[in-house]
Copies of this chain bind each other. A is one copy, B any other.
Amino acid sequence: MLRIRPKQIGLAPGSLVHVGDRPEEPSRLSMMAYDSETLSEAVDVSVEACLQQRGASGVTWVNLDGVHDIPRLEALGTGFGLHSLALEDILNTDHRPKCEDFETSFLLILKMLFFDSETERVRSEQVSLVFGAGYVLTFQERQGDVFDAVRARLRRQGSRTRERGADYLAYALVDSIVDSYYHILERLGDSLADLEEAMTDQPTRDELTRIHQLKGEMTLIRRAIWPLRDLVSGLQRDESTLVSEGTRIYLRDLYDHTIQVMDTVEIYRESLANLLDLYLSSVSQRTNEVMRVLTIMATLFIPLTFIVGVYGMNFDHMPELHWRYGYGMVWGVMLVGTGAMVGYFKRKDWF
C-alpha cells in the first residue's frame, strides 16, 4: 500500500494515463443541481447532460465514480475547462493531497480512508474535487463514499448547504472526508488500547507484529492527513473570489478539525513508540528473570552433583568411603554449602 507506482517514462507531461488499481466495475456519472428553491437529481447521466446543466443558475454537483474511464473524464475536463495537468493529477490515484489554484477553478486532491473489515487494514481511496463558479466536480476511484450525509442535507430545503454556493458545497464535502478520519482514528484507538492491555501480561510475538502493523498504518494515515493542513489553510487564506467570506469562517473550523486529527495521529504514534519500548524492556526483563532461575538452580546443584560424583568413583583406596559417618558428613557438607549459596543469592536480591 505504501509503494510507489511507476509512471511510463518519457510520456509527454499532461498525457492521460491511469495510475493505480483498476476496479472492475464500470464508471458512473451522477449529478445534483440545486438552488435554494429547486433541486434536481440524476444518476447515470451522460456528460452532455452535465454540461447543459452547467449553464443554468444555481449550483451543479457532478460526481464521477471510476476515474479509470478516461474518455468520460476527458469529456468532462474539456466541458468544464480543466487544464490537462489537472486531469493527469486526477488520474494518478497515488497523488499527494494538495490544493491548486487554476484561477477560474480550484483542484483539491484528498484521500478517503476506509477500514477494510476483510483484511483488517486501513485502505485509502483518492477523491479529487474541482470547484468553480456554480459547479463542483468530484472524482472517485470506486463507488461508495462518505458524502451521503451531504446529499441528505441538500435534499432538505432550507438547509444551510442549499442556501449557499459551490464553495460551501466543496467545504461540506471536504468536511465529511475529515469527519471520516475520526472514525478510523477511533478504531485505531481501540486497537491501541487492546494492545496496551495485552502488554500488561507477558507480551508475545503477536503483539510485536501488531505494533509493527499499526505503525505502518499510522504512516499511511499521516501521509493522507499532513498535506491536508496546508490545503485547508491555503484555501482559507487564498484571495480568490471563488471562496466567499461566509465560507472562510467554516474553513477555519475545518482547519481546527484537521489539527485535532493530526494531533491525535501524533499521539498515537508516540504511544506506539512507547509500547515498543515497553515490549523490548519487558522481554529484556523476562530474559533476566529466566536467567536468574537457571543460574540459581545450576549454581546450587552443579557443585552438589560433583560432590556425589566424587564418592561414586570406584578407586580401591578411598578412605572416606569406609568411615562410619562418611555418608552423613557428605550430606552435612552439601547442606552447609547450599545454605551459603542461598545466603549469597539472598544478599544479591535474587529471590
Residues B293 and A294 in contact, CB atoms below 8 Å apart: no
Within 8 A of B (CB), among A231-253: 249-250, 252-253
Residues of A292-351 whose CB lies within 8 A of B? 292-295, 297-299, 301-306, 308-318, 320-327, 330, 349-350
- Considering only CB atoms, which chain B residue lies closest to A311 in the complex? B313
A38 at the interface (CB under 8 A from B): no
From A88, A274, A315, A327, residue with most partner B Cβ within 10 Å: A315
**Any chain B CB within 8 A of the CB of A48?**
no
A200 to B312 alpha-carbon distance, docked (Å):
47
Whether A3 and B193, one on each chain, are in contact in the complex, defined by CB atoms closer than 8 angstroms, is yes
Nearest Cβ distance between residue A320 and chain B, in whole angstroms? 8
Within 8 A of B (CB), among A188-220: 189-190, 193, 200-202, 204-205, 208-209, 212, 215-216, 219
Q: A11 CA to B182 CA in the complex, in Å?
A: 13
**Inter-subunit contact B150/A4 (CB<8 Å):** no
Prevailing SS type, chain A contact patch: helix
Instruction: State the CA gap A297–B304 with chains docked (Å).
Output: 11
Flag the segment in A50-58, A63-71, A134-142, A256-264 that touches B: A256-264
> Are A297 and B290 interface neighbours, CB within 8 A?
no
| CB of A43 within 8 Å of the partner chain | no
Is B324 within 8 A of A274, CB to CB?
no
Of A290, A305, A317, A320, chain B has the most CB atoms within 10 Å of the CB of A290
Tell whether, in the assembled complex, residue B308 and residue A314 are in contact, meaning their CB atoms are under 8 Å apart: no
The one of B9, B96, B208, B304 that contacts A281, using a Cβ cutoff of 8 Å = B208
Measured CA separation A317–B298 after assembly (Å): 29
Q: How far is the CB of A199 from chain B (nearest CB, A)?
A: 9
- A280 shortest CB reach to chain B, Å: 6
A212/B278 in contact, CB under 8 A: yes
